[in-house]
Structure 1
Amino acid sequence: MANIKGTVRPGFEQVRDEFAAVADGSAQLAAYHRGEQVVDLWTGEDIDGDSLIGAYSASKGAAHLTVALLVQDGVLDLDQRVSHYWPEFAVEGKQDVTLRDLLAHRAGLVGSDEGFSRAELADDRIVAERLARQRPFWRPGTAFGYHALVIGALSGEVVLRATGRTLQENFADRISKPYTVDFHLGLPAELEPRFVATQPMVLTPERQLPLPAANSLQGIAFNRQHPAGPEVWELPNLPEVRRLGSASFGGVASARGLARMYAAAISPLDGESPMLKPEIAAEFAQIHSIGRDVVLGEQKAFGIGFHATGERYPELGQGSFGHSGAGGQQAFADPRNGIAYGYTRRRIPFPAAAAPENESLIRALYSALRAVESRP
């Protein structure tokens, strides 16, 4: 059983017990209930509660909270054509793609024919410029597939064209700084000492991952066709990725930061009103794409820029939204229950995705919540 550090609010002790039972190496866990932190735990000799770990695709949650704020402000319109903001996008059959379709992974623009080098993939502006010229890999709107390494560059270019500032700058000024969220799309040099590198997954002869063909749809989506392309697991460990903060995978955060970001989105926090109006949170959480993901070949459900997280975890209320990461991360907001959750770990799980222990940790969190709320 793991040696657990940190605190829980009275009534949430079972979450600490479950974390001790299921933690696989170094990990962090945080949760809020109606704007109050109720769980703040970590384990491992090499990390503490302030350690920063690569967020992988949990970065997409930060990116699309930023987009949601701009929609709330009226700066962006989900039903406007992408080319209205970004004229160069209107080629190769993409002229009618709306921002809504793009963010619901329906644009068919999962990568480029030639792929990206390590330096190119780290730079959202280079990725966006290349994809503006790219022919979609399916007719936009006819199917959906996870734009794993590029969706943040695409939505980020729309944000840049609409506001004159990068998505990363908008995130820092609208979310990270005002709400004191320990999540960084572009890690400042002075915070580098807090960064803890992700460790690769443990592979054995019985645990091997079949790699997609380089020029298959999945291979293109995960940049397998470029000879100098990095492995997905190592991305946040690359200094240029952390420095530039790719909005698809380059964020760096603690579990505290993940949970606090979603708490700020849906709950009063430190005297501030919720970041998102209920109708905006509901629209971004609403399922827009569900069924067979043509990239992953699996059943998936997406809202606007977010996972429809309640489709995976039955304890969650309808309208929950968030985003997991390949490093084992899970983070979400559950507006109906007032819950915000953040989990990260140092070693990549097998397979790379939201770590399996999230299932029992989430069950324990909601069990504790029901017990607390049932007390007279």
Structure 2
Amino acid sequence: LFSVICIRGLLNYTKEVYHYWPEFGTEDKKNITVEMILSHQAGLLGLDAKFSIIDYRDKWDMVENLLAKQSPKWPPGTAYGYHVYTYGMYADALVRKVDPQHRNLSQFFQEEIALPLDIELYIGLPEEKYHRFARCQSASLWEFRFNLFDFIALFGSPYFDFMNIFNLENHDFNNPEILSIGHPAVMGVGPARNIAILFDYLANNGSIKAKRLLSPALVKALQEPLTTNLPNVYLLSNQASRGLFLQKNKQGHSIIGHSGNGGSIVYADVTVGVGIVYSTNYLSVSDQ
């Protein structure tokens, strides 16, 4: 999505965020660039204040103010760690600032990417589509116990409470009102095949059958690691690029993609030119 915004000259990856959002340039954040946000280097992986996911929809001015005032947990650009919820929130705020129509990220994605490409995907599922949604099932107690030591390590992290902004539980994703909220980090919904088609564009230099999503140069920019030699402080093992993660598969092919809650994953294999997705409604507690 940010690559599409870059194509239109609305945003530059290397520009400081405060250039587009002046209120952001406080609390030692003035040197944070757009690509630092997108590659989890900003140190803004949580918020000091808590609020509900409903507040995210209904009290955006409050949310934006909290985002702008938050101070980083490490000097930006010196480390990286997974910004689980805040990644999508800062991205949403930036889209609202640079889009001439001031649409939120969910609206921009729907109107400028999903509809033009004729791909049914949503960031926030419309409630009238809820009857088609495969209900989420939580992991069993046995699986939780089997992975207990992983949870102890997770809960022991100094960042865990800081990141736990919404107190969302897995069963909340079966609530049609909550599922309809366009939070970019957690509410992506769509048929697995359509998610794979979107990543097929990335695997094929940005175009499929005469439809172009991105230029080859911008697809290449998504494959550039930005976190090489930086310490990983929270939950990341793969190198981060501008919004995606990079790794090699078992065949040695370069792949770019992202994992999701419960074990879902999508990636583009740029060597063979194919987008691949595994989507599950069983929300596993492990990465297996």
What TM-score bracket applies, with the shorter chain setting the length?
0.7 to 0.9
Maintained 8 Å contact 2:49/2:66: no
Please, which of 142, 152, 173 is the counterpart of residue 111 of structure 2? 173
Maintained 8 Å contact 1:289/1:301: yes
Paired residue for 1:243? 180
| Per-residue deviation, 1:173 | 1.4
Question: Distance between the aligned counterparts of 2:55 and 2:232, measured in 1?
Answer: 26
SS at match of 2:137: coil
Amino acid at match of 2:68: A
Q: Does 1:252 align with 2:194?
A: no
Q: Does 1:219 align with 2:161?
A: yes
Please, which of 75, 90, 114 is the counterpart of residue 154 of structure 1? 90
| Per-residue deviation, 1:73 | 2.2
Paired residue for 1:48? none
Question: Distance between the aligned counterparts of 1:285 and 1:130, measured in 2?
Answer: 32
| Per-residue deviation, 1:220 | 1.4
Amino acid at match of 1:279: A
Q: Does 1:119 align with 2:54?
A: yes
Maintained 8 Å contact 1:266/1:275: no
Question: Distance between the aligned counterparts of 2:21 and 2:191, measured in 1?
Answer: 34
- Which deviations, in whole Å up to 9, do the C-alpha atoms of 1:224-272 show, x marking residues without a partner? xxxx7223x3453333332122101111122112101112344443x33
SS at match of 1:216: coil
Question: Distance between the aligned counterparts of 2:21 and 2:217, measured in 1?
Answer: 27
Paired residue for 2:75? 139
Residue 236 to residue 289, structure 1, CA distance change in 2 (3 Å) = farther
Paired residue for 1:194? 132
Paired residue for 1:57? none
Amino acid at match of 1:161: K
Structure 1 residue runs of 5 or longer lacking an equivalent are: 1-65, 357-376
SS at match of 1:327: helix
Amino acid at match of 1:218: F
Residue 215 to residue 334, structure 1, CA distance change in 2 (3 Å) = closer
Please, which of 295, 311, 333 is the counterpart of residue 234 of structure 2? 295
Q: Does 1:79 align with 2:17?
A: no
SS at match of 1:321: strand
Give % identity. 27
SS at match of 2:278: strand
Question: Distance between the aligned counterparts of 2:80 and 2:161, measured in 1?
Answer: 16
Counting matched residue pairs gives 278
User: Normalized against structure 2, the TM-score is what?
Assistant: 0.87
Please, which of 314, 323, 333 is the counterpart of residue 268 of structure 2? 333
Question: Distance between the aligned counterparts of 1:316 and 1:183, measured in 2?
Answer: 30
| Two-structure CA RMSD over aligned residues (Å) | 2.3
Paired residue for 1:89? 24
Alignment of 1:63-78 (within 5 A): 66-78=1-13
SS at match of 1:156: helix
Amino acid at match of 1:175: I
Maintained 8 Å contact 1:218/1:295: no
| Per-residue deviation, 1:140 | 0.8
Residue 207 to residue 96, structure 1, CA distance change in 2 (3 Å) = closer
Alignment of 1:360-371 (within 5 A): none
Paired residue for 1:322? 257
| Per-residue deviation, 1:207 | 3.8
Residue 241 to residue 257, structure 1, CA distance change in 2 (3 Å) = farther
| Per-residue deviation, 1:111 | 1.0
Q: Does 1:279 align with 2:217?
A: yes
User: Normalized against structure 1, the TM-score is what?
Assistant: 0.68
Paired residue for 1:12? none
SS at match of 1:299: coil
- Which deviations, in whole Å up to 9, do the C-alpha atoms of 1:252-308 show, x marking residues without a partner? 122112101112344443x33331111101112211114642122x53311111111
Structure 2 residue runs of 5 or longer lacking an equivalent are: none
Amino acid at match of 1:295: Y
Question: Distance between the aligned counterparts of 2:147 and 2:202, measured in 1?
Answer: 38
| Per-residue deviation, 1:214 | 8.2
Point out the structure with max Rg over C-alpha: 1
| Per-residue deviation, 1:122 | 6.0
Amino acid at match of 2:239: A
